[in-house]
Amino acid sequence: MFTAPGSHAAARSVRGIPRKRRPGAENGGLPAGPPASMSRQWGGLVAKVVVAGGGIAGIACASVLQAQGITVGVRDRGRVIGGRMASRWIDGRIVDSGASYFTVTSPEFTEVVDDWTARGIARPWTRRMSVISGPNATLAAAEPGPLRYAAPRGLRSLVADLASRAGVSVAQSDPIARITPGPLVDGEPVDAAVLAMPDPQALRHLDEAFVEERALLADRPWTPVLALLAGWSHRCWTPMDGAFVHDDDTIEWVADDGRRRGDNAPVLVAHSTARFAQPRLAEPAAAGPALIAALRRLLAIPEQPRWVYVQRWTFARPDRPHEQQFHLSDNRIGLAGDGWGQPKIENAWLSGTALGRAIAERLR
């Protein structure tokens, strides 16, 4: 899902400005609960599903179940919805601090994106990404590629929109602890449980009795990333939308967030290499000066930024994605996310959607 060759556990550090929280952000702009609807009956009882994970895969899965009349609740560890499609309010504007953009290839996801763009909550960004040579810090234009999309209010707003329009209830700052045979989620019986999160996190929540499911998740390492967000008083670098950085020890991707957002603000976002991030995960704030120095060198920026923000993503992207789109076990444990198939936002949505349909079919 992260752009460069995004975890739910994030550490944050802001230097230069006070931290602000946008009013209403705690609940992601979502309704307090689902609308009244017919509930699916299974075995004479109302079917109930708990989805752990408030990223796009979990919300897509819950949306399908909600539309089928199945009682579904999403429990998310974050303060706001979005997962690694994370956005942060800094210095009076939104900045994407996780995934950088999304592309579209499938007809089904195209319908979703067309609706977003028609309503102005997503926008076409660019087909061209530059390439920066790390050793000599030269910037070269790349050949046209797939159209990348962004969101004026941050990618997180798209996940919130999916949940709101589907009437999905999301409990923020409410992570699950354990799924045990039954299945039971924290001791409460459910008809199915979904883990829509990186494999190492999902593994922590599964009881040892789930041998099959745990075997699928074991030995699936994920790559870490440190995301640097930095704002200047004015634009002082060569114009570009985004750039893949080759052969640099510190940074592998840079996005001009002002051009991505469409407001031309002097804000850059850089993603570190995994090698740089790994030994610095315990204290991500301490990595800020080295990241800024590398970014200024790569783009020949003459000035220090006004503010700096560093976010840790312990599980940014999978080293070995699963070949299948999702998994639904005989124990009615569902697994989905951008680790199932190619790690892209589109595939995370497709994974959650397909899992939701499979669960609805199983509960008929």
The domain total for the chain is 2
Q: Is residue 235 part of a domain?
A: yes
Q: What is the pLDDT of residues 276-299, one digit of tens each?
A: 999 999 999 999 999 999 999 999
Residue 1 pLDDT class (50, 70, 90 cuts)? low
Q: Is residue 165 part of a domain?
A: no
Q: Is residue 111 part of a domain?
A: yes
pLDDT at 46: 55
CB 154 within 8 A of CB 29: no
Residue 244 has, within 13 A of its CA and on its CB side, a CA count of: 12
328 and 314 fall within a common domain: no
184 and 116 fall within a common domain: no
227 and 212 fall within a common domain: no
Residues in a beta bridge with 41: 46
Domain that holds residue 132: 1-15+85-153+222-318
178 and 314 fall within a common domain: no
122 and 247 fall within a common domain: yes
Q: Is residue 159 part of a domain?
A: no
Query: Is it the case that residue 51 has pLDDT exceeding 80?
Result: yes
Rounded Cα gap, residues 63 and 343, in angstroms: 21
pLDDT at 134: 86
Tokens read off for 95 = 């900045």
Q: What is the pLDDT of residues 118-167, one digit of tens each?
A: 999 999 999 999 999 988 889 998 778 999 999 999 999 999 999 999 99
Q: Is residue 243 part of a domain?
A: yes
66 and 185 fall within a common domain: yes
309 and 344 fall within a common domain: no
108 and 185 fall within a common domain: no
For residue 190, give the CATH number of its domain.
3.50.50.60
Q: Is residue 345 part of a domain?
A: yes
Rounded Cα gap, residues 183 and 47, in angstroms: 13
Q: What is the pTM of this model?
A: 0.88
For residue 135, give the CATH number of its domain.
3.90.660.10
**242-246 and 251-256 as β-strands: parallel, antiparallel, unpaired?**
antiparallel
Local structure of 328: helix, strand or coil = strand
126 and 229 fall within a common domain: yes
- Between 315 and 47, the higher pLDDT residue: 315
Query: Is it the case that residue 40 has pLDDT exceeding 60?
Result: no
256 and 311 fall within a common domain: yes
261 and 273 fall within a common domain: yes
240 and 364 fall within a common domain: no
